[in-house]
Amino acid sequence: MAVVASETPFHVLAVDDSLPDRKLIERLLKTSSFQVTTVDSGSKALQFLGIHDDDASTVSVHAHQLDVAVNLIITDYCMPGMTGYDLLKKIKESSSLRDIPVVIMSSENIPSRINRCLEEGADEFFLKPVRLSDMSKLKPHILKSRCREHYQQEQQHQQSDSNSNDCSSPTNKSSSSDSSRKRKAEDNEEILPQKNRPRHS
């Protein structure tokens, strides 16, 4: 049965053009037991994630092939050049990155902006200045996307296995193994328990 690895800290990529803000978000994340990488622009974020601006949709680099997996991306909205919204769009357009949860931060409380980001697939919107209590909202999004990813992988395995079984003559053996696979998929559908409750919430 799948168990979410709880020993390795989750890795967050933080994007903000303001240096004091970068320091702050780094400390907030580290205090909440995340491993952190900070970059000062959307294009540097994409570079780090292993995709290039121009061919985001065609590059087939899988997230797991990165040197270090990224479990969540938190980005400022207002940045020169590529905004947080532009970055969000690029991430969602990428087949390898679209499952990584994205959180947007902004110092301005503009409902249309917030809705636009959420509609584009952002998982959360934080009003700046970000607080320690906001950090506890991050882990659920990471776990949720991991569950989803694992379930999708299980579905794929199930389909490829059942295809190969169709070729052989139907026996009791194959049907029972089908049902055991189904049961296994259902197990993985359950929400995995959060093993690490954050110290600060």
Partner 1 sequence: MAAAALREQLNALLSSMFASGLVDDQFQQLQMLQEDGGTPGFVAEVVTLFCDDADRIISELAALLEQPIVDFDKVDAYVHQLKGSSASVGAQKVKFTCMQFRQLCQDKNRDGCIMALAVVRNEFYDLRNKFQTMLQLEQQIQAQQ
Asked if 114 touches partner 1 (CB under 8 A), the answer is no
Q: Report, in Å, the least distance between residue 115 CB and partner 1.
A: 21
Encoding tokens for residue 181?
């696979």
Asked if 109 touches partner 1 (CB under 8 A), the answer is no
Rounded distance, CA 73 to CA 13, Å?
5
Asked if 28 touches partner 1 (CB under 8 A), the answer is yes
Window 126-185: residues binding partner 1 (CB under 8 A): 128-129, 131-132
Nearer Cβ to partner 1 (109/156): 109
Nearer Cβ to partner 1 (128/139): 128
Nearer Cβ to partner 1 (31/65): 31
The answer to whether 42 and 86 have CB atoms below 8 angstroms apart is yes
Encoding tokens for residue 111?
């409902």
Rounded distance, CA 71 to CA 112, Å?
27
Q: Which of 5, 6, 31, 196 is in the footprint of partner 1 by CB under 8 A?
A: 31
The answer to whether 141 and 118 have CB atoms below 8 angstroms apart is no
Q: Report, in Å, the least distance between residue 200 CB and partner 1.
A: 7
Query: Which residues lie below 8 Å from residue 112, measured CB to CB, with a gap of 6+?
Result: none
Nearer Cβ to partner 1 (113/150): 113
Asked if 124 touches partner 1 (CB under 8 A), the answer is no
Q: Report, in Å, the least distance between residue 107 CB and partner 1.
A: 5
The answer to whether 98 and 92 have CB atoms below 8 angstroms apart is yes
Using CB atoms within 10 Å of the CB of residue 172, give its burial: 0 to 12 exposed, 13 to 18 middle, 19+ buried. Answer: exposed
Stretch that binds partner 1, among 90-98, 113-121, 123-131, 161-169 (CB under 8 A): 123-131
Question: Tokens 């139907």 map to which residue?
Answer: 170
With CB under 8 A as the rule, give the number of residues binding partner 1: 18
Local structure of 73: helix, strand or coil: strand
User: Which residues of this chain interact with partner 1, rule CB under 8 A?
Assistant: 18-21, 23-24, 27-28, 30-31, 78, 80, 107, 128-129, 131-132, 200
